[in-house]
Amino acid sequence: MLTLLGSLGSGGGNSSTEAGALAPAVGNGRKVPTSICISPPPQAIACGSAHSFFLSPGLGEETVIFGWGGNRNNALGMPRKVVSHSENGAKRQQRTLNKWDLVVHSPTTEVFNGQITQSEDVHTRKRHVVPHYFEVACGSNHSIVLEKLAGVGNDDSSMQPPQQQRRQQQHQQELVASRVWSCGFGANGQLGRPAHTEDDDRDLPAEVVLPSFPGSRVVVQRISCGADHTLAIANFVGLSAVSSSTCGRVFAWGLGSYGALGTGNWTDELVPKEVWFPEDKIYDGDDRPGMCDRNVCIVQVAAGTKHSLALGADGAIFAWGHGGNGRLGLGSKPMGGGSVAESYVTENTPQRICGIGRMKYVAAGESHSAALDQLGALFTWGNGSHGRCGHGTATDSDTPMRVEWSMAVSVSQVALGIMHSLAVTVKGQLFAWGKGPATGLDAPDNAATFSPSPVELPENLTAHQVAAGPLHTIVLMTDGSIACFGSGSEGRLPAGTAEGDDLVYTKDQTFPLRLNDCKGVVLGGHGLRDAMGNLSSPSLGDQEQTDTNPAWWPAQIFCGGSSSVMLTSTSKQKAGINVDENLWVWGSSRVTAGADTKQEPGRDLWNPSVLKRGFRSSVHKVAVGLDHCIAITGTVMCTWGDGSKGQLGTGNLSYCSHPQPLTRPADIIHIAAGDEHSACIAQGGEAYSWGCAEGGRLGLGRCLSEGFQLTPKQIQVVGSQLEGEEVLLLRDVACGSEHMAFVTENDDLLTCGMGWFGRLGKGDTNNAYSPELVKLHGVFVRDVFCGMYHTYVVDRSGMLLVTGRDSAICKTTAGHQLDFVPFEPFVEPRRSILSLATRDEHTLAITTSPETEHGSELWVWGKNTYGQLGLPPDQAPRVDWPWQLPIKGIEYNGTKVRYNLAQVATGPKHSMCLVKPRMPNAKKKSASNPRDPVIYAWGSLSCGRLGLTHQQASLKLGFQSQENTQESHHLQNHCGEYIVPPVQLNSVWKPAEERTQQPREVQRQDVARRVEGPCRSWADAQLKLWQENEDAKRQRLTERRHDVESTYRGILDEIERLWDKPAPGDYSIVEYQVRQQETRVEREYLRTLKAVGLSGASHATV
């Protein structure tokens, strides 16, 4: 919603009577807003004809600007090339050339540098070495950047806490000081600079100066670039008139051939010139010569290829420029001579679009336009070919028409290209329509889409902003990362390699592809180490699990999509020890429905409970997929959970609430579960797979590369794939989201499935429909791990090798890794892998290194949307380089215990770590020396996947006393969403006689203290309601009822008195008298109608 801030007033000023010239505003009795808050947020992304920009927040007020793509005429603002040369053996000298790279294939921060960062602020006379870019815009071959300055009278928000800065920016986006910079092609005035001299650097970034009055200054608020012209919204501050400032004034410069400047003529404007609107009035008479009334306040502008749009503070839309195909929305006009034929006229001054309601957003494309009303409804008009208007047809529309799709959704932003359109809903969903790869819809045969269709973003992320170029699209996602798609020519997409100065044409990208890290800097995630500090890990002690360990000790942990599984000791026990019930589950009801608990059907399980049903003996291996599980008990394999893609192998697509045994194959030694498929290795070395077959992920050949395999089917491995061997025995298998990896008895590696990003490690991105050998050049594979777009291999020495998507494997150079290479962060110093877990695009690893002081360390990297890396996601949405995560010290009876990091597990939204503590005298096995392992969990709290009881959750979410304020600080801000840092789970699997029970009186006091505190959120209130005693609830409700009755009884009595007929002698006006008067008026009105004989009056009754 548009918001107006500040007082309302009128202005006055100086001279100039020429239409379109600069003149101060004076009052005429009509109030004009003097300060505006522009509803649409500034654009952090922008697309030109072949170049793109992205503004990423840095530390404090700094903003990092990335740029890439076509760079003809230096539209990216790159510094000149510097070359070294020598003559006749003389000392080498450096020479600057008037030359730039024609294509920048990878995002770089060298754009718009030099001239901006080293210039001097003309207002504060201070050196600006840390720029704060506020908004960016791109034309066909020129670029404009708006820089925010610390202006006069403006409190420096950089001195405020980041939370306070964000809250302040949400309520007020008005700038009090700014500068505009331009670079690129400027033959028709696109750069807004006067005619240049011979020594003028036309292609380097330079400041655009807007005209102003003596004693005042111009503050640009927003910018927008068309193909060859630019629009800007500016405020005038410091005018010596009735008003202290006049706001929302529009300036234009550039190509004027189509009237897109709105200045009233068709000439090019080399410098900014003010645009006048129909309601603005200029006085040319004798009474007020040179004065004007500014009656229009503009809050947003949108520049298209040949036309422009402006949005007023009252929600009105103004259009001007070329009117072809009805893109101005002004309707059609009869041609001369009284002909009934219709045509579209060109307007060189702004014209109000009539017949629409109050709007909040406008967008202009190549030959069509769009707007959003206050409720988020989408209106489009103009060229309808290829379905770009989204009305389901290819016909043009000369007036705004509502898109039927928007009747069911609320749209927050819309962007238009040449033949495509995109919209972002308030929920962050991205929709597109039109034609071409820039839609991101991957339509068959490049067919046009005539109505909005959803675009799938990487990793199911949501969109924050979208920018549409002529042939490509950029999406800024809510985690701060960027997705690109569209034409791959001229460097539009950050892919490919440069070959001298020649343009390299890469393949079109028909679906969103996430833009990866830029030279070691994570997009949208700067300053992680400075913000979080230097973390360390406790020292290592030696402790191995022995046959004498208790049966209830945790042995292995597993994380699924929304559930967790823990396997207790599987070692041999003494006679009489029952270890059959050794599988514990908690989390989503899809997996935990068969647990030994009295939970209601469909309810998630928050407390770990043992799973009994379906097993006849103890479980010794488990694999957990997204929403299904596989377990081996004895020699039988059992599956349960979601079976909608055949991943259970039961022969149908049904859901199973408790484990179902599979009769074949038999004698299973290893199992693996992906998101929608499963696999296993039999004792004879054969591999079987089942579930979703899309992309060849099952390895069953090209004939089965789509659909579902409902039962386990043996994978045929051709002997010639491994240097002529006829029999190939497998010992291990790992499942990713869309691919699999196998380890042979000879420690070789085979992969199959989808090859995006090089995740198969074969040197290309092609799919493999059957397992193919991966050449590792002498590496003997110990373990293999599959993520969503990457694969890890650990060799016999513990060295980690990686392949796949660069953002998931901490790759510092541009491009994805297509074959296996050592993991760079663990090369120097050398770190060996003890345990590793990876899922989606994040990884956790336990390492050891003889060169470090600490024997074992927990490292995390990758995506951190839900806190699955143990760090607050709002501070660290992505970890670009391995970060050492500490585990809080374990205490027994007040004594801190040294510990070993034994195993780590992770799911899409949470992670766990198995820790084995030890005392200094660990060799002495006594009752006073407890050594039972403990489990730490962190990440998303939903569905109970962390295994925290409601009491634990309430404590960790910040409802405990203020003794540990540092830990609760991170949790109070996101109550009910995630838990960080790692917290220890209660050992509910421990036998009752061995648990340390807290006195009941202490428990009651803790509950009372938490319930008495104020509610910080809806989740807080629900937890308190759940914890409060029934008698206390009843007493509180009774007290509240008495309070309400005593407070409002008098008000209710007064309302009843006003409704009833007043007593005799009471002449106060009450509701009864008002009703009587309304009845009399109605009677007189009906008598009048009957008297004049109007139609229908005869039926009226008096």
Angle between helices 1030-1059 and 1071-1092 (to 10 degrees): 50
Q: What are phi and psi of 1057, to 5 degrees?
A: -65, -40
Q: Range with the lowest mean pLDDT among 249-253, 549-553, 699-703, 963-967? A: 963-967
* Residue 289: both structure tokens together: 């010569």
- Full DSSP string of 940-953: E-GGGTT---HHHH
Q: How far apart are CA 947 and CA 984, in angstroms?
A: 10
Helical H runs in 493-573?
528-532
Give the residue-averaged pLDDT of 998-1014.
Answer: 54
* Under 8 Å between Cβ of 707 and 690: no
The predicted structure's pLDDT at residue 212: 79
The residue among 599, 708, 714 whose CA lies nearest residue 668 is 714
pLDDT surpasses 70 at 981: yes
Average pLDDT over residues 778-791: 92
The residue ranking higher by pLDDT, 886 or 345, is: 886
Q: Is the peptide bond before 494 cis (omega within 30 degrees of 0)?
A: no
Q: What share of the chain is helix, strand, coil (3-state, %, to 5)?
A: 15, 35, 50
- How many angstroms separate the CA atoms of 855 and 661, rounded? 42
- 434-461: b (≥16 Cβ within 10 Å) or e: bbbbbbbbebeeeebbbebbebebbbeb
pLDDT at 324 over 70: yes
Query: Looking at residue 296, what is its pLDDT?
Result: 87
- Tell me the C-alpha distance between 830 and 323, whole Å: 66
pLDDT of residue 800: 94
pLDDT at 664 over 80: yes
Identify the pLDDT of residue 461.
Answer: 83
Predicted local confidence at residue 439, as pLDDT: 94
DSSP codes of every residue in 975-1012: TTTEEEEEEEPP-TTS-GGGS-PPPHHHHHHHHHHHHH
Mean pLDDT score across all residues of the chain: 76
Over its C-alpha atoms, the chain yields an Rg (Å, rounded) of 35
How high is the pLDDT of residue 462? 86
Q: Which residue has the higher pLDDT, 56 or 421?
A: 421
The reported pLDDT for the residue numbered 633 is 84
Cα separation of 291 and 308, whole Å? 27
Best CA proximity match to 820, nearest among 858, 846, 781, 848: 781
pLDDT band at 1090 (very low <50, low <70, confident <90, very high): confident
CB 78 within 8 A of CB 111: yes
pLDDT above 70 (res 346):
yes
User: How high is the pLDDT of residue 541?
Assistant: 33
Residue 1088's pLDDT band (cuts 50, 70, 90): confident
Model pTM above 0.75: no
Between these two residues, 771 and 408, which has the higher pLDDT value? Answer: 771
Report the 10 Å Cβ neighbour count for 191: 28
Query: Highest mean pLDDT range out of 76-80, 162-166, 830-834, 894-898?
Result: 830-834
Query: What percent of the chain is modeled with pLDDT above 70?
Result: 69
